[in-house]
Amino acid sequence: MRFCLNASVLALLLLTSTALYAQDLPPLGTSSVPPADLTEVEPDPEPEPEEAPATDPDNPAAPAAVAAPAAAPTGTDASAKKSMKKSEPPAEDEGDPRLVSPGLNTEGSVGMQRMAAAWGGTPMTLQVALLGEVYSGRNAVRFNDTNTLFIGDLVIQGSPIEYFSANLRLQTRNNVNTFGRPQSMLTQGDVLLGLKGSYPLGDGLWLGGDLTLDFPTDFGGSGVRFAATSVRPRILFSFDGSGLDAKIPLKGHVNLGYRADNTPKLIPDGVEVTRIERFAYELSAYDFVEIGLGFMYDLPYVSPFLAWNLSAPVAAEDGTCGQANLPCVADAGFASFPNVISLGVKAEPVDHLGLHLGIDLGLTSQDAAGLPVTPPYTMVFGVAWTIDPKPKVEYVEVESTTPVAQPQRFIVGSVLDKETKQPIAGAVVRYGGTETPQATDTDGSFRSYGFVPASALALSFEHPDYEKLELDVTLETGEGEQEATIELVPAVKLATISGRVEDEKGQPVPNIRVKMSGPQIYEPLANSDGTFEETVAAGAYTVAVSAPGFLTRGQDVSVNPDAKLGLIIVLKPAPKETVVTLREDKIEIQEKIFFETGKATILRKSFWVLDQVASLLSENPQIKTIQIEGHTDDVGADELNLELSQLRAESVRAYLMEAGISRSRMIAKGFGETRPILPNTSRRNQGFNRRVEFTIVKQ
């Protein structure tokens, strides 16, 4: 007999800690709609109250609706009420309230029988289940025997936070076989701990992963044998059709895992385990690659399911295939793999109480050494209870002879960024009356209070990063909802750009013209001392300064909201000859750029050409990207020419950056001798091939 004294203590700690954690947090799913006055009256005669939809605490893809009472009609006389009584919240069209929740599987995870769902339970809830497994038959473990197996499980599953859950399973096994020595083999106190994380992929798809640790008690003794701990990680994929617009009542699961089985370490040295002991204590000499596929269909009151699980044995213990009366797994093949089909139904006769009934049909047709026998069938049954400590909303119904409230109409909408079409969370919605302002959800959605149909409504939408929007809306006639898409314009964030313009001697330049090109175009007036200042919308700008007798000089800058940027721009005298021309796809230069022989150092006599290139780029901010291309002749090694051309292109880019052109607007690319414009048959032709070109990539 195996026995573990700490199992019940561990279960109690998990149950208590999760419940206390839930008590300290506010209830989830609270509506932004303010509750109605508890003295609200109903028409006379009193209508039948609507049935509240059943919550689904284990299926995050189909959350329970949060109903809010309608606002009281004007002119209600509170003194006219006769009595008050508790009632269920009004039902909203969120699905069939007769459908059942998934409940726990035999491992304590949300799912069905042998399958785990990729999602976990509802945050801050607990589920407790008692599950039993029974097999009784002849000739299953060995020829002409009679065997009865009972497995009892207490499983606890808790979800302290969203997308994470943990489960604990305490197990007892009792196997009686007519050939056993002794006939009855009992284990108690096996503890299994599971952790699961999940994440929604959207459109009804979920991805999850779990890890199960199996802590068995010692074989023929007491106390946990940690050396025999088995570990099983899995990847979980799930599909929930109820999360789609079509509301398909079908759930599907795929489980892929690896079980590192260490139960052979429970067997004392020198002891040869019999087939009956291997079956009774579930001892395996193999690790397993596990594959599972399952489906569940939601019908009123019951949910039938179908699942298939296959365990492929791998990594056998030494000496496993030494038995003379049983074949090795390698010889028996697929027929010896543990292979099970599960059929069954789940039901939920009352809220939070789940019932389970199923059967495992063994498809394994060949026994093999080192593997427990797969029984031809196993009956599985159980009951589960969901514990939700969150406070419940109470509704009251008041009898009165006052007139019935008018029909109500709601606006259901989304608030989006007008430029990016992305949802805006936290936008404040006001209705122009006494109603409390609302804030949009993380997906930008909102649902208004109820208003009288066909009435005029003043709406306003505000957000710190957007311009305020005010609308006058006339509601449609009749009860119900009407959709609205609201687009907000991003607010302009202001900054300041100032500068001083001087010549190469440090003297101010008069009669300058300044142009700032960016999110908007600004042309500030300059002072006589060559200074200027302008308040602009935050962003990236090309600041170009020109004056008679000087080359245009500019600087690419980026200014943050509320920032002040100061520039000093030095103008150079305009050359007598213009050698730089803007073409459709390139900047054409009529003079060569000269470098030191065999080096990337630009000679001073070429500075005036590059100054004109910088001037042209400053005057044409629409040129977003240019490629500076370096070329050589065929003298020298190909690799050295390619490297030299790259370094020369980078030197040109560095010069233009010092002239105020942003690095982000320039690409330096060396081509070596691969793109000659003339055959390298003479020194003259080689001189033409040694060149720098400017190609416009984007404008």
Q: How far is CA 285 from CA 2, 174, 291, 415, in A?
A: 20, 21, 19, 60
Cα distance between residue 627 and residue 124, in whole Å: 58
Rounded CA-CA distance 170/123 in Å is 23
For 243-281, b/e burial (b = at least 16 CB within 10 A) is: beeeeebebbbebebbbebbbbbbbeeeeebebbbbbbb
- Both structure tokens of 693: 């070109």
Q: Is the separation of the CB atoms in 367 and 333 below 8 Å?
A: no
Q: Show Cβ contacts of residue 38 under 8 Å, excluding neighbours closer than 6 positions.
A: 84, 396, 398
Cα dihedral 671→674→677→682 (10° resolution):
120
User: Looking at this protein, which amino acid is placed at residue 170?
Assistant: L
DSSP H or E run through 652: helix 638-658
Structure tokens at 229: 């701990």
Per-residue 3-state assignment (H helix, E strand, C coil) for 569-621: EEECECCCCCCEEECCCEEEECCCCCECCCCCCECHHHHHHHHHHHHHHHHCC
Query: What one-letter code names the amino acid at 8?
Result: S
**Cα 349 to Cα 354: distance, rounded to the nearest angstrom:** 7
Q: Which residues pair with 339 in a beta bridge?
A: 310
CA distance 239 to 385: 24
**Alpha-carbon span 195 to 211, nearest angstrom:** 5
The model's pTM: 0.46
Question: Which stretches of 3-68 are DSSP H helices?
Answer: 7-23
Q: Whose CA is closest to 175, among 82, 280, 72, 85?
A: 280
Distance (Å, whole) CA 591 – CA 580:
8
Provide the pLDDT for residue 80.
Answer: 36
Residues in the chain predicted with pLDDT less than 70, given as ranges, are: 1-102, 219-223, 324, 390-405
| pLDDT for res 391 | 65
Q: What is the dihedral of CA 660, 665, 668, 673, to 10 degrees?
A: -110
Q: What are phi and psi of 15, to 5 degrees?
A: -65, -45
Query: Of the candidates 33, 673, 22, which has an alpha carbon nearest to the alpha carbon of residue 411?
Result: 33
Model pLDDT, residue 98: 56
pLDDT attached to residue 433? 77
CA distances from 525 to 499, 502, 511, 515 (A): 12, 16, 10, 10
Residue with tokens 């100061």: 566
Rounded-to-integer distance, Cα 612 and Cα 591, Å: 11
Say what the pLDDT of residue 389 is.
Answer: 75
**Residue 459 has which token pair?**
């709406």
Report which of 390, 384, 389 is spatially closest to residue 128, judged by C-alpha positions: 384
The dihedrals phi and psi of 110, each to the nearest 5 degrees, come to -65, 130
Radius of gyration of the chain (CA): 39
Residue 665 token pair = 């607007």
Helix ranges (DSSP H) in 41-127: none
Helices first, then strands: H and E counts in the chain: 6, 35
